[in-house]
A and B are shown apart, each in its own frame.
Chain A
Amino acid sequence: MKSNSVGIVKTELLHVPGPFMFDNGETISELDIAYEKYGRLSPERDNVILIAHALSGDAHVAGFHSSIEKKPGWWDNMIGPGKSFDTNRYFVICANVLGGCRGSTGPASINPLTGMPYALDFPLVTIKDMVNAQKILLDHLRVNKLLSVVGGSMGGMQVLQWAISYPEMVSSIIPIASALRHSAQQIAFNEVGRRAIMADPNWKGGHYYTDNPPNDGLAVARMIGHITYLSEDLMQIKFGRQDRGNREKLFKPSFEVEHYLDYQGESFVQRFDANSYLYITNALDDFNLNVELARTPRLELFNKIRCLVISFTSDWLYPSAQSKEIVRQLRGKGFEVTYCEVDSNHGHDAFLTDIETQTALITNFLAQCRQ
């Protein structure tokens, strides 16, 4: 293990026995929030950074769960001693989203009222609900000030929601490769993913928990996702027309890109719940901060919130134009906004892989925020 790793970590669980009310008025009688935390909370409690994860992410953002675990947390290259989010200086928290399937309450959780999994009885989750659940966790940890809220993709949506819902708590925000709302194209890709799941005979209207889950449908949804996460350029460089030479076997994967997508699909179904995928992609498509911004007055509070908006040149799923719209809207409300378009050919995945420029930007940005 490298010296810049946060080392062995564990996912903790906060159990909230009381009811949790969703934005649409529906409630669940109790709530679990899975989270990880790294670094030390300063005596002034002013060094907290909240990381918000994307569609398929979880609370395990850095370090290893055991000494034999091969893969570290999903943003390990950004979090640890001397990294962007330097755990020698900052106290970093990441929670699994509400509606997820990686420890926090979601459609696969047992409904205490019935003793059965919620399945589709789970209330429709919004980005705002995810943020409100995170707020409960922070209250529990007695954190009332966030030096920064950071996240890419769906994480960026939560970041933006944080600034509008709880501006008094937030000193700065870093939305990366994100959007104020999905475009028709983004909704369209999600819809194809959802239809793939629901068309799987194992889905059974969401009631598959005692039987075989709809793994084929979920794998297809994930494969579509992975196509949208890469740039055309990188896909060509990575796979081109490389072929394993078994094209005579009718319609079996032979091209490298086919094997890649198959692998991504197969490994995803091992760790993800199909109903969660439906709920979370629905939350993504439903999110529309423009509506909320239109009824939010220009607040004095906003003047003190610094924003670092980052996009990537080859990201066609969350294109730079959407980040520029974030800049325009936030600036209109009086936020202090800096915008950077990082040159990259990694597509949407760049926020996970293109670390060098992000590290330089974020390190300097956070240092200024803390002054």
Chain B
Amino acid sequence: MTVPENYRIIETFVEPGSNVLDLGCGNGDLLAYLVDRRKIKPTGIEISMAGVLSCVSKGLMVYQGDIDEGLKDYSDNYFDFVCLNSTLEYVHNASLVLKEMVRVGRKAIISITNYSSLSGRLRFLFRGKLFGNQLLNGNSGDSPIFSIISFEDFKEFCNLNGYKIEGEIHTKSLPGFLLTLYPTLLSEQAIFLFSKESS
């Protein structure tokens, strides 16, 4: 299996042997990868039975339920790391979930798809099309998208809540130097490591 680039980036953020929660862990591939590479203690929250079954077959601890509901049971700093990977779009109340991630985790890791990339901006400018059409969701069989959040939106949110962004790595589809110059325009996805300022 080829390892997705975001898995490798998340791996660099996660300390060996740590207690990791993955929100919307799907079939458990990321957690299993981190168990293999970082010997983490894995926990997942997943809504689909197919995902839960896959996690159980990998020996991962998983809680079937909504992300919003699943987090309230954990005490502050219960986990070393809380991941939200390729899931932010599907969260109903993104602000609440981000705040809960920072509360129950010493550190939080989020991957954000870049909806404000150059191509996205051009599509909106010339064709007037947003990313995905909310009215067509449900016909396609995809999960409906609730939260479209740009890198700048996320940074503003962290700033206002006093969260510290400790790491920011972009997945590379272009030569590195271009990406470094214009990350918000050119990257496909960024992974952020953030936490409560005090920690």
Which A residues lie at the B interface, using CB under 8 A? 308, 324, 327-328, 331, 336-343, 357, 360-361, 364-365, 367-368, 371
Contact B61 A341 (CB under 8 A): no
Residue ID in chain A nearest B45 by CB atoms: A339
Contact B53 A339 (CB under 8 A): no
Q: Report chain B residues within 8 Å CB of A336.
A: 61
Q: Please tell me if the beta carbons of B62 and A341 are within 8 angstroms of each other in the complex.
A: no
A-B contact pairs, 10 of them (CB 8 A): A308-B56, A331-B73, A338-B56, A338-B60, A340-B49, A340-B64, A360-B53, A361-B53, A368-B57, A371-B59
In the complex where A308-B56, A364-B57, A368-B56 touch, is A357 in contact with B49 (Cβ < 8 A)? yes
Minimum CB–CB distance for A361 against chain B, Å: 6
The residues of B that contact A342 with a CB separation of less than 8 Å are 49
B67 in the interface (beta carbon within 8 A): no
Shortest CB-to-CB span from A172 to chain B, Å, is 11
Known: A339-B64, A339-B65, A340-B64. A368 touches B53 (CB 8 A): no
Residues of chain B whose beta carbon lies under 8 Å from any beta carbon of chain A: 49, 52-53, 55-65, 73
Q: Which residues of A contact B58 (CB under 8 A)?
A: 368
- Is the Cβ of A338 less than 8 Å from the Cβ of B63? yes
Q: Is the CB of A341 within 8 A of B65?
A: yes
Cα separation A342 to B48 with both chains bound (whole Å) = 10
**How far does the alpha carbon of A338 sit from the alpha carbon of B61 in the complex, in Å?**
5
Q: Once bound together, how far apart are the Cα atoms of A361 and B61, in whole Å? A: 12
Chain B proximity of A50: nearest CB distance (Å): 21
A364 touches B61 (CB 8 A): no
Residues of A within 8 A of B55 (CB): 338
Contacts beyond the supplied A337-B61, A361-B52, A371-B59: 14 A-B pairs with Cβ under 8 Å: A324-B65, A327-B73, A337-B63, A338-B55, A338-B61, A338-B63, A339-B64, A340-B52, A340-B64, A342-B49, A357-B53, A364-B56, A365-B56, A368-B58
Task: A294 to B104: give the CA distance in the assembly, Å.
Answer: 23
CA distance A345 to B192 in the complex (A): 42
Closest to B56 in A: A364
Which of A327, A337, A338, A343 is the one whose CB lies under 8 Å from B49?
A: A343
The complex places the Cα of A360 from the Cα of B57 at a distance, in Å, of 9
On chain B, the residues within 8 Å of A343 by CB distance are 49
**Bound-complex Cα distance A336 to B63 (A):** 11
A340 to B64, alpha carbons, bound, how many Å?
5
Q: How far is the CB of B61 from chain A (nearest CB, A)?
A: 5
Check if A338 sits within 8 Å of B62, measured CB to CB. yes
Q: How near does chain B come to A293, taking the closest CB pair, in angstroms?
A: 15
Contacts of A365 in B (CB 8 A): 56
Q: How far is the CA of A331 from the CA of B58 in the complex (A)?
A: 20
> Which B residues lie within 8 Å of A328 (CB)?
73
Q: Which residue of B lies closest to A303 (CB)?
A: B41
Contacts of B73 in A (CB 8 A): 324, 327-328, 331
Across-interface contacts of A341 in B (CB, < 8 A):
64-65
CA distance A364 to B54 in the complex (A): 9
> Please, which residues of chain A bring their CB within 8 A of the CB of B56?
308, 338, 340, 361, 364-365, 368
Least CB distance from B114 to A in Å reads: 34
Contacting residues, chain A, for B52 (C-beta < 8 A): 338, 340, 361
Q: In whole angstroms, what is the CA distance A299 to B114 when docked?
A: 46
CA distance A337 to B45 in the complex (A): 12
Select from chain B the residue with minimum beta-carbon distance to A368: B59
Given contacts A340-B49, A343-B49, A357-B49, contact A327 B57 (CB under 8 A): no
